[in-house]
Each structure stands twice: as C-alpha cells, then as structure tokens.
Amino acid sequence: MPSEILEYQSKLIADTSNVQEPPLSLPYGTPVKVANGIHSILACNPKDYTGIGTNTYLVGKNTLWIIDPGPACPDHIKAVLSAVAGRPVAGICITHTHMDHSPAAMTLQEATGAKTYGYGAICPTVAARTTEAIDHNFEPDVLLSDGACLGQDAWGLKAIHTPGHFPNHMCYMLPEQKVLFSGDHVMGWSSTVIMPPLGNLADYMASLDLLEACDAALMLPSHGEKVLAPNKRIDEIRQHRIMRHQQVAVCMGNGVFNPAEIVEQIYDELSACLFDAAQGCVMAHMELLQQGITMPVGALAPISRSHRDSV
C-alpha cells in the first residue's frame, strides 16, 4: 500500500473529527482490477471504522454480480453503473445492513433491474437495542441461508452466514477461483469491531472457523486492500481475539469489571474515536467470561500493549 495512503489511514484513526482530506492517489470511483474478472470500486466514505472507504465489487465478465453496493452516495452509484457499462447484473449481494454497505442497493436495483440478495433485515425490536448505524430500509428480494448457491457457471457464488460482527452478516465465496469476499468479518487493515448486543464474540470466533475452512487463495474485504494469504490473516485475527480475551480475564481476575477501566488498562495510545469500539469489544469478551466460556489457550498471558487500530 502506498505510504501516503497508510499515513492517511493512520490520520483517520487518530483524528476524532474524521474530516481528513483524502490523498489524490486514492482511486475513488475508478474500477480497479483485483483478480481475473473481479473489479473493485472504492466509495469516498472514509472514516475511522471504514478506513479509506467501502469496496464495492463487480464479479464476472459478460454478466455481473455486485457485492456490497456501498453507501447511498450519488458519485459512488454513478461510478458503479459506469463500470457495469450496460451489462446484465445477475444480482446485488449484501454482506450486511450497516449504512456503509447496503443503502446503494435500492438505486442500483432501479437502474439494473437486478434482484437483491442477503440474509435478511434486522428485526426492528432487535435493532432498537443498539445505536449502530443500521440500514432499516433494506430487505432483500431473495433471502439467503448458509450454503446457498447463486448462479451455476464459473462465476457462481456460495453464501456463508458469518454472524459475530453483525447478526445478518454474509460472506461470499467464488469457488472456481477460490476467492473469498469477507465483508467486515476479516480485514487486512484492522481488526473487526464486535459491539454487543448485536455483536457476539462466540458467533464471531465460530464464523472465523467457517471462513478458514473455505481455504481461499485470495480474500477481498469490504474495507482495505486484498489479502493474499487469507488463512494466515484469519489466524492472526483469531490470535488477536484470544489475546484480548486473556487481557480482559486478567483484569476481571484483579477485580476490574468496568469496561471503560479495562480499556484504559489494555489499550495503549487508543484514539478517542475508537474508544467506544474498544469498549464494545471488551464487553463482548466480558459476556463470554461471565458465562464461564474460555478460549482454547494455556495459562493467561500478561497484559500487553498492541497497535491502536486493533480493537
């Protein structure tokens, strides 16, 4: 990744105002080939949680799948339609209904006539329990279950239900090319936020196992650059969560049960804009520990410091 983009990404994390001017080298709105028959289009919605922006993927050659349409930004939607260039769209696939992923689906559907696919909407009663930015308007035309297959040719996709970050989170596998579209579940640039009550750590860890079993050769997350060694990155994320679990267990063993206090103890140089994310992850670990659930490791490790963007 170019140095100016890395610097910009660091500024997004450090600056609580989230008004950093993006470098001109970022290819917003420009189709970028990331693999055979797969192009990404970067949305200009940079923020602390989204990094440099949301990746929308066009999959296929003559007929396309759109994965993660992104935010309802007119410039981004225009760029996606320009890249589609009039080709038929088999479907619009949603990884989950956070506001940086699904809102553009409706406009793209109107322009292409394609059906939308996803696990399903979040129940309003459940959604009311969180302050997360949720797209309450999106409901897929086609409800997907774990293992559902979309299309039958070389560009056919397999849906994988991966709750943990969000209850309706889906990843998509392109078996013919061993390419995994990992959404927000696993990213190369940062760890993933697990924010109760909709985020669930037990589900998240189980979903990591599902993705590892795909044995993908390439992973394309919805934020950040492609990951060339997917299972290595999946294990890195697993080990990171195990480390955090140990750290939280040590704090609770020392009589510290306030999530904010635990954040202060185990995070070093944490930017203010990520404090809530870190606190949410701590709460997810506390939920498991309070249920008596531990992770498969040996003796508890001493509290260590880690990079500020790894919640």
Reported as a single tens digit per residue, the pLDDT across 32-50 is 999 999 999 999 998 877 7
The answer, yes or no, to whether residue 17 has pLDDT greater than 90, is no
What share of the chain has pLDDT > 90, as a percent? 73
Domain ranges of the chain: 3-238
Peptide bond before residue 197 is cis, with ω within 30 degrees of 0? yes
Whole-angstrom distance between the N-terminal and C-terminal Cα of the chain? 21
Distance CA 172, CA 94 (A): 9
> Given this model, what pLDDT does residue 309 score?
45
The domain 3-238 is classified under which CATH number: 3.40.30.120, 3.60.15.10, 3.50.50.60, 1.20.1740.10? 3.60.15.10
Q: What is the model's pLDDT at position 125?
A: 82
pLDDT given at position 107: 97
The answer to whether the beta carbons of residues 70 and 81 sit under 8 Å apart is: no
What burial letters (b/e) apply to 97-127, b meaning 16+ CB within 10 Å?
Answer: bbbbbbbbbbbbbeebebebbbbbbbeeeeb
- In angstroms, the Cα distances linking 67 to 104, 190, 292 are 11, 21, 38
pLDDT tens digits, residue range 204-253? Answer: 999 999 999 999 999 999 999 999 999 999 999 999 999 999 999 999 99
pTM score of the predicted model: 0.88
Tell me: the pLDDT tens digits for 176-209? 999 999 999 999 988 999 999 999 999 999 999 9
Q: Would you say residue 301 has pLDDT above 50?
A: no
pLDDT at 307 (0 to 100): 41
